[in-house]
Amino acid sequence: MLQKPKLPWFSPTVFVSRCQQVLRALDCNHYHHRVSKDVSKDEHFDDKLRTKKANGECHFQLYKSRGQHLLTSARVLDSIVKKSNIKATDTVLEIGPGTGNLTLKLLEAASKVVAIEIDSRMADALQTRVAECGFEDRLTLIRKDALKTEFPHFDLVVANIPYGISSPLIAKLVFGTRSFRSATLLLQKEFASRLLANPGDSEFNRLAVNVKLVAEVEHVMNVSKRDFFPVPKVDSSVVLIKPKSNIPKVDLKEWCAFTRTCFSKKNKTLGATFKQKKKLSELMRISTLMGMNKETQMFQPSSDISDECEDAEGNSSSSCLEMGVSLFKEKVINILRLSGFEDKRPSKLCVEELLKLLSLFNENRIFFHDKEEDASKTELDTSFDDL
Ligand SMILES: C[S@@+](CC[C@H](N)C(=O)[O-])C[C@H]1O[C@@H](n2cnc3c(N)ncnc32)[C@H](O)[C@@H]1O
């Protein structure tokens, strides 16, 4: 078989491609960068940075751990802004502006940009660059972790986010404020596929079903890894997330806890999932805490009595618990059987079917969300952080 000859390193094709790569990297960004995997190992670099800046130069160490892959293709940046349908009166929220490649384009299209950046070196560079362009009055820069910051009012989100926070960030957006028109997000391609998956698709999972409850997700375009600097290992996709104006009347925390249980093994039948002793005991504990399950409560040993305690019929506390769990199991399996869900697999169920099952459980006083655990957390900790 004939093999394609390798191009010599000095071939015109290789030379042109190398030049294009370098130009792309410098295209929208006049800063120089070095790449590092770990923030902690390179903290000393901040000092070097200050020195260089004093000399009018700006050198950056880019941290992979913070997802610092800058989007350098003007073509892709322009498409993202165009597809976001920004109005001249809009306030746009940008998570992770970096050195401002996207921010400047957003400032040209919108009335205001609120940018949240965790890395103070990036934030300094962004501020300088925006001032150089005369846009400083229209930028609000928040130097914080976007996951731990309350978002101010905004109309749209447009961002090339650090991929490591995709899931909690989307949860914070779609289950949080919700009063925005849309979020145009650049995500890792595989993550975007999972977000876009439908029941029956191999990628369909809890993330997709949770987001589908409250929002519509559209694929906008794919972006090659070569459009970033430094070039990451993965390709990317842009998606558009639009919060639904009418969402089903359901306690969102109860829903998220319910889908966590159902999708713990997404290809198992619900019958098999709900027969697991550990899951049943946990569910029984939560339902009993809600003070709803009188029939299981009578078999629950109270916490202030010893392990050796006996009930009125002479059963020890551990056997009381066993009996409680088996009674509870019977009840759960009956609900699944009578409603036709026992042999169904979560990976094939749509939002409406799952809502129906949750409402059947709740009508029968079976609950999933541990309100007591939440009571001990702060407002930000209790956000929906694990889609
Ligand atoms: C993928 S880069 C995008 C930079 C820029 N938007 C661009 O497209 O060139 C992600 C940016 O998010 C910042 N970042 C990482 N984690 C963050 C967090 N938890 N909150 C806010 N910003 C974060 C990084 O410092 C980095 O500047």
- With CA atoms as reference, report the closest residue to 284 among 377, 375, 361, 383: 361
- Residue 304 pLDDT > 50: no
267 is in an annotated binding site: no
Cα(277) to centroid(ligand 1), Å? 43
Q: What is the mean pLDDT of the chain?
A: 83
Give the model confidence (pLDDT) of 73-123 as tens digits: 999 999 999 999 999 999 999 999 999 999 999 999 999 999 999 999 999
Cα(178) to centroid(ligand 1), Å? 22
Choose which residue among 27, 103, 117, 122 to substitute to test ligand 1 binding: the one with the highest number of ligand atoms within 8 A of its C-beta: 117
**Structure letter (DSSP) for residue 310:** B
- Place 385 in a pLDDT band, splitting at 50, 70 and 90: low
Choose which residue among 35, 70, 120, 236 to substitute to test ligand 1 binding: the one with the highest number of ligand atoms within 8 A of its C-beta: 70
Residue 83 phi/psi, 5-degree rounding, is: -70, -15
Provide ipTM, 2 decimals: 0.99
Cα(213) to centroid(ligand 1), Å? 28
Distance linking the first and last C-alpha atoms of the chain: 50
Ligand 1 atom 19: residue of nearest CA:
145
Q: What is the pLDDT of residue 43?
A: 34
77 within ligand 1 shell (Cβ under 6 A): no
Ligand 1 atom 8: residue of nearest CA:
71
Cα(66) to centroid(ligand 1), Å? 7
118 within ligand 1 shell (Cβ under 6 A): yes
69 is in an annotated binding site: yes
pTM: 0.80
Alpha-carbon distance 344 to 328, whole Å? Answer: 20
Q: Are strands 139-142 and 112-116 parallel, antiparallel or unpaired?
A: parallel
- Place 322 in a pLDDT band, splitting at 50, 70 and 90: confident
Q: What is the pLDDT of residue 376?
A: 59
DSSP E strands, the chain: 32-36, 59-63, 70-71, 91-95, 112-116, 139-142, 156-160, 182-188, 215-223, 228-229, 236-243
Q: What is the pLDDT of residue 30?
A: 46
- With CA atoms as reference, report the closest residue to 243 among 287, 178, 314: 178
Q: What is the largest CA-CA distance in the chain?
A: 90
Dihedral (Cα; 267, 197, 337, 319), 10-degree rounding: 50
- Place 254 in a pLDDT band, splitting at 50, 70 and 90: very high
222 is in an annotated binding site: no
115 within ligand 1 shell (Cβ under 6 A): no
Cα(208) to centroid(ligand 1), Å? 24
Residue by residue, DSSP assigns 229-293 as ES--SS-EEEEEEEE-SS--S--HHHHHHHHHHHGGGTTS-HHHHHT-HHHHHHHHHHHHHTT--
